[in-house]
Amino acid sequence: MKEQSYSKRIALNFLTATAILILVIFTLTFLVVYKTVYNSLDADLEAEYQEIAHGIVILDDQLIFANTGEWSENEHAQIEVNPTFLQVSDTSGNIIRKSPNLMGTSLELLKNENNKIFFNAGLSGGQVRQVQMILTNDRNEKAGYISVAVPLEASLMVLKNLLIILLLAFPFVLPVLYFITRYLAQKSIMPVKILTESAGKIRRENLNTRISLPRQKDELYTLTETINSLLDRIEGTILLEKQFSSDASHELRTPLSVLKGTLELMIRKPHDPDYYIEKTGTCMEEVNRMSVLVDQLLLLARYENEQSPSGLTLISLDDLINNIIARHARALEQKKITLDLNITRDLTVSTNPFMAEQILENIFSNAVKYSRENGTVSIFSGNNGTLTIKDEGVGMSKEELSRIFNRFYRADQSRNSKVKGYGLGLAIAKRFADLLQIVIQAESEPLKGSSFTLVFPLFPETGNNSVPF
């Protein structure tokens, strides 16, 4: 089954709702007119009855007609134009008097107990609207009935014509309304169609293309802005992936080139054992470099699609920092770096031990790598579970600082053979920090050093980050 277009669905849905609304309006219109017509007829009958009733006197159970002129009026004598039929009957139903226009006929009599009733009745092949009221004597006993009637054909004709008009108008209005609604819907969604076509033209080759914003700042304007923003993020992600692939290839190509060149020299001609030992050591260094690089890439890939960390537990930050410092003791001694350690004793946080160690390891190792000789690396804790690692190294500019968490990025000052690295350490730290909801605040100034502050999340139970054992 072929699916309907969006404009058709809008038109059909609108038509369904409108059809129900029109049907309700038409029904209410007919009922209001119907009620108005009958209320008008009943009011006329009531007025006529009052005139007749005031002219009837009951003495000794006898009905005396005091106002005989009322019975001889034209409306009671003729039947052609607006006739009014009058009839007085006794309690047995015998007609005592009736208007001349009834001639050989009589009005229908209902021996009711209600003081006054209105009803439709037949008269000489036609229909009349009739009111019948009870006459009572001075003892409040029933003495007879007064019946007043007027023709109903004209009123019924009005109601019939109105009903025909409504019934004919209803199916005529619906298709007209459908086509009008469909036209307006197509015109309304035309900007959406243009937006769709524009978005469909964007390919990987022209991903920098953006959709023109509409003039009116409405929902379509917001939608277009959102799509353009999405394209910005997609383009940025693809550029990062391209840069990542390029940098990874470059970083892997360098040690492979060294290995290839060294091995070619080793097999070109015989050498003494010391030469082979030296070159084998060079090859092992390059293999180790590639192994570290591959391990870091696998670590990033492993946690790339993680949404939330597992294995959260209480760990002591000062113990973790001491273990990391111990691993870098030789590097600290070689560069004669002074360590300023000021951490609250038994400071604990709820986190993933492996990820937290990787974050601190990467930040601290960078502080050691880029610190000048005889410099100082400070580690101190602050209020609300914050931990800061500060060095007095080469520092970075604001532009470089904004890119330090990008994969394979290394600031210009650090791109030298003396400081080894691949630019993946801070990328790993940032990824793990995001998973653990740890905020990393970085500050740096060229030639004055850098500082990284870690803000750990609060404990839900206590509202505090640090809980002493």
Size (the chain), residues: 469
pLDDT at res. 78: 54
Q: Is 340 in contact with 377 (CB distance < 8 Å)?
A: yes
Q: 426 lies in a domain?
A: yes
Residue 432's identity, in one-letter code, is F
- DSSP class of residue 299? H
Tell me the C-alpha distance between 116 and 146, whole Å.
Answer: 10
Which pair of tokens denotes residue 462? 């206590």
Kind and range of the H or E run holding 69: none
Tell me the C-alpha distance between 186 and 190, whole Å.
Answer: 6
Which pair of tokens denotes residue 29? 């219109």
Counting beta carbons within 10 angstroms of the beta carbon of residue 252, is it exposed (0 to 12), middle (13 to 18) or buried (19 or more)? middle
CATH code of residue 291 = 1.10.287.130
A 10 A CB-CB count for 349 gives 24
CATH code of residue 37 = 3.30.450
Q: 213 lies in a domain?
A: no
Of 302, 328, 346, the last residue of a domain is 302
Which pair of tokens denotes residue 237? 């992600």
Q: Is 109 in contact with 135 (CB distance < 8 Å)?
A: no
pLDDT at res. 272: 84
Q: How many domains does the chain have?
A: 3
pLDDT at res. 397: 85
294 and 427 in a common domain: no
155 and 11 in a common domain: yes
Q: Give me the residue label for tokens 């630019």.
A: 423
Q: 463 lies in a domain?
A: no
SS3 112: coil
392 and 254 in a common domain: no
Of 254, 275, 302, the last residue of a domain is 302
Q: pLDDT (tens digit, 9 = 90+) per residue, 15-61?
A: 888 888 888 888 898 899 999 988 988 888 888 888 777 777 666 66
CATH code of residue 442 = 3.30.565.10
130 and 33 in a common domain: yes
363 and 251 in a common domain: no
Q: 212 lies in a domain?
A: no
Q: Give me the residue label for tokens 């109903």.
A: 152
Q: pLDDT (tens digit, 9 = 90+) per residue, 263-277?
A: 887 888 887 888 888
3-state SS, one letter per residue, for 383-394: CCCEEEEECCEC
61 and 145 in a common domain: yes
- HSE-up of residue 407 (Cα within 13 Å, Cβ side): 22
pLDDT at res. 267: 83
C-alpha distances in Å from residue 459, one per residue of 46, 357, 387, 430, 437: 85, 19, 16, 21, 12
Q: 228 lies in a domain?
A: yes
227 and 343 in a common domain: no
- DSSP class of residue 467? -
20 and 155 in a common domain: yes
443 and 363 in a common domain: yes
Q: Is 369 in contact with 419 (CB distance < 8 Å)?
A: yes
Q: 469 lies in a domain?
A: no
148 and 224 in a common domain: no
333 and 277 in a common domain: no
> Which residues 6+ apart lie within 8 Å of 412 measured at CB?
400
Beta bridge partners of 129: 120, 150
> Which residues 6+ apart lie within 8 Å of 122 measured at CB?
108, 128
Q: Is 131 in contact with 45 (CB distance < 8 Å)?
A: yes
Q: Is 137 in contact with 143 (CB distance < 8 Å)?
A: yes
Q: 424 lies in a domain?
A: yes
Of 160, 182, 199, the last residue of a domain is 160
Residue 456's identity, in one-letter code, is F
Q: Which residues of the chain have pLDDT under 70?
A: 1-4, 6, 57-81, 240, 243-244, 247-248, 250-251, 254, 296, 299-301, 303-307, 407-423, 458-469
Q: 368 lies in a domain?
A: yes
248 and 282 in a common domain: yes
SS3 147: strand
Counting beta carbons within 10 angstroms of the beta carbon of residue 348, is it exposed (0 to 12), middle (13 to 18) or buried (19 or more)? buried
Instruction: Supply the range of the domain harboring residue 242.
Output: 219-302
Q: Give me the residue label for tokens 């937006």.
A: 195
